[in-house]
């Protein structure tokens, strides 16, 4: 078999493996290079998302949520569950089993679609050549008409708290604890910090989240952010805002953390410390100097709106390029690039990329926030509906949070869709679909929703945009 391909993808995460499969489905000869290696020296596909990110974290979130419900949410529903315990080893076994099943599934998809899987570290050379170094240090060079860089991202390490892999860990290490820490510190109140903090808080940890910024979830609509902040605090998460970490020292099997907040210098002791201050593009030794691909000072690869780099026939997708670091954004870009290589001209609608925080309650949104629209001087109308007035949410003992819809004041076109509450990650898809088709709030208001469902809250929020909600009192419109 020739070592020349139509498409070589470097990286088998949710952007890379999807791009390779789509390219093969379009009749292109495709290969995918991945360096991730299992303990038994076999190639592991799926990247960060499937192995140490989205999937294992959601498994732990789901298990810990069930444990929390069994301990604190069942009795009021008439279910008596006494002495409920958590088996951490069994929980981790369950998580690992899910990961293994899904990563193995990608290998099966590669085989079914005719994608060649190459095990090793891929490096882009000049003229679309890819050098692959295997686990034994042996190199082999492949050629392609097109190369897609999809190498993903890795956790950011900060000088005051270098990772030691046992007491001070990144998000990956936080998925491997063998016991519940009595006191857990989390640096960073972003998506990853809140999700991981929630997991271990539900299982019994005393969790303190230290965040440098003064505003909680600054990219989230602030009505939604403030509601979620109150609920997280009620759950026992101690979230300290405006706190700049200055150091961390391990002494007597404890992490001594020092930070400064509005009250001055502070100290805290933790059994474990998770550093979750963000991620950076993973382009280490991925590009030769003469590859023709340009990067900025933070390591992001420069691409145009269609993910094409300055080097002919070289593309980049996912976490290594501009935009949010989201698995589904990477997948959409992977499909788009594969189709463009095949001669089609699709585009990704970056205005309709949903964001989700998988805490309980979940937080999800798509489009503009009120703060953004105010800053842009746009006129808009808002409709909200609380889950406390939703029959299905009440029946499920999940009646906290709300749905919020923001629409253009003149055209009524939906500009933003925001949810904090039960199954927000599923409900937000309704907003994404509506916005993708250019729907107005009235379009949703005229749509029939099944009763009783959580989605009725979307219907009511849409009705509320024009002051016509049925199951709550409407705000009086200014004359």
CATH code where residue 330 lies: 3.50.50.60
CA 111 to chain centre: 28
Q: In sequence order, what are the residues at sequence separation of 6 or more whose Cβ sits closer than 8 angstroms to the Cβ of residue 415?
A: 367, 368, 373, 378, 380, 406, 407, 408
Same domain for 151 and 191? no
Which of 238, 254, 277 represents a domain boundary (last residue)? 277
pLDDT value for 1:
41
Q: In sequence order, what are the residues at sequence separation of 6 or more whose Cβ sits closer than 8 angstroms to the Cβ of residue 352?
A: 366, 367, 432, 435, 436
Same domain for 119 and 258? no
| Positive or negative torsion for Cα 149, 155, 159, 163 | negative
Q: What is the pTM of this model?
A: 0.95
Same domain for 212 and 263? yes
pLDDT value for 478:
53
Q: Which residues make beta-bridge pairs with 117?
A: 32
Is there a domain that residue 423 lies in? yes
Is there a domain that residue 356 lies in? no
Is there a domain that residue 455 lies in? yes
* Dist CA 295 CA 281 (whole Å): 10
Is there a domain that residue 424 lies in? yes
Same domain for 56 and 73? yes
Q: Which residue is catalytic, options 65, 72, 451, 471? A: 451
Same domain for 436 and 369? yes
| Tally of structural domains, the chain | 3
Which of 277, 311, 336 represents a domain boundary (last residue)? 277
Give the pLDDT means over successive 10-residue stretches in the chain (479 positions). Answer: 86 98 98 92 93 96 95 89 94 96 96 97 98 95 98 97 97 97 98 98 97 98 98 95 97 97 96 98 96 96 98 98 98 98 97 97 98 98 98 96 98 98 98 98 98 98 97 76
Which of 288, 323, 351 represents a domain boundary (last residue)? 351
Same domain for 411 and 397? yes
Same domain for 388 and 447? yes
Is there a domain that residue 108 lies in? yes
Same domain for 445 and 419? yes
459 belongs to the catalytic site: no
Same domain for 268 and 293? no
Domain residues for the domain of 264 are: 168-277
Is there a domain that residue 185 lies in? yes
pLDDT value for 479:
44
* Dist CA 198 CA 425 (whole Å): 16
SS3 327: helix
Is there a domain that residue 161 lies in? no
Enter the DSSP assignment of 98. H
Same domain for 148 and 291? yes
Same domain for 81 and 100? yes
Same domain for 148 and 294? yes
């Amino acid at each position: 078999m020739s070592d020349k391909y139509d498409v070589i993808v470097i990286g088998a995460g949710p952007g890379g493996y999807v791009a390779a499969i789509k390219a093969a489905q379009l009749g292109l000869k495709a290969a995918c290079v991945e360096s991730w290696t299992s303990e038994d020296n076999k190639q592991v596909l799926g990247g960060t998302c499937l192995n140490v990110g989205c999937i294992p974290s959601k498994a732990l979130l789901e298990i810990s949520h069930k444990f929390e419900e069994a301990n604190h949410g069942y009795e009021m529903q008439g279910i008596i569950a006494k002495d409920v315990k958590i088996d951490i080893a069994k929980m981790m076994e369950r998580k690992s089993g899910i990961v293994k099943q899904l990563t193995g599934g990608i290998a099966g998809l590669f085989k079914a679609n005719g994608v060649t899987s190459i095990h090793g570290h891929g490096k882009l050379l000049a003229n679309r050549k890819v050098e692959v170094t295997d686990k034994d240090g042996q190199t082999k060079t492949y050629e392609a008409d097109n190369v897609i860089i999809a190498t993903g991202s890795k956790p950011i390490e900060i000088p005051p708290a270098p990772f030691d892999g046992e007491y001070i860990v990144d998000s990956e290490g936080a998925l491997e604890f063998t016991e519940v820490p009595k006191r857990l510190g989390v640096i960073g109140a972003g998506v990853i910090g809140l999700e991981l903090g929630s997991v271990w808080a539900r299982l019994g940890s005393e969790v303190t989240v230290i965040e440098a910024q003064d505003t909680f979830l600054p990219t989230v609509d602030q009505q939604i952010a403030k509601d979620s902040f109150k609920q997280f605090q009620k759950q026992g998460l101690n979230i300290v805002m405006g706190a700049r970490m200055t150091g961390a020292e391990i002494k007597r099997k404890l992490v001594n953390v020092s930070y400064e907040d509005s009250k001055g210098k502070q100290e805290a002791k933790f059994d474990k410390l998770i550093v979750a201050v963000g991620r950076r593009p993973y382009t280490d030794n991925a590009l030769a100097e003469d590859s023709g691909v340009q990067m900025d000072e933070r390591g992001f690869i420069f691409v145009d709106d269609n993910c094409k780099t300055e080097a002919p026939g070289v593309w980049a997708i996912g976490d290594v390029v501009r935009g949010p670091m989201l698995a589904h954004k990477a997948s959409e870009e992977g499909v788009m690039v594969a189709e463009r290589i095949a001669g089609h001209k699709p585009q990704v609608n970056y205005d309709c990329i949903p964001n989700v925080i998988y805490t309980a309650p979940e937080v999800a949104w798509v489009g503009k926030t009120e703060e953004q629209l105010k800053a842009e001087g746009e006129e808009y109308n808002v409709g909200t509906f609380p889950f406390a007035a939703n029959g299905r949410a009440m029946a499920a003992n999940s009646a906290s949070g709300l749905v919020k819809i923001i629409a253009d004041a003149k055209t009524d076109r939906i500009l933003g869709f925001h949810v904090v509450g039960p199954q927000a990650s599923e409900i937000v898809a309704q907003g994404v679909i509506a916005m993708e088709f250019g729907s107005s709030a009235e379009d949703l208001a005229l749509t029939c929703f099944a009763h009783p469902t959580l989605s009725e809250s979307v219907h009511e929020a849409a009705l509320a945009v024009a002051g016509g909600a049925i199951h709550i009192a409407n705000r009086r419109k200014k004359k």
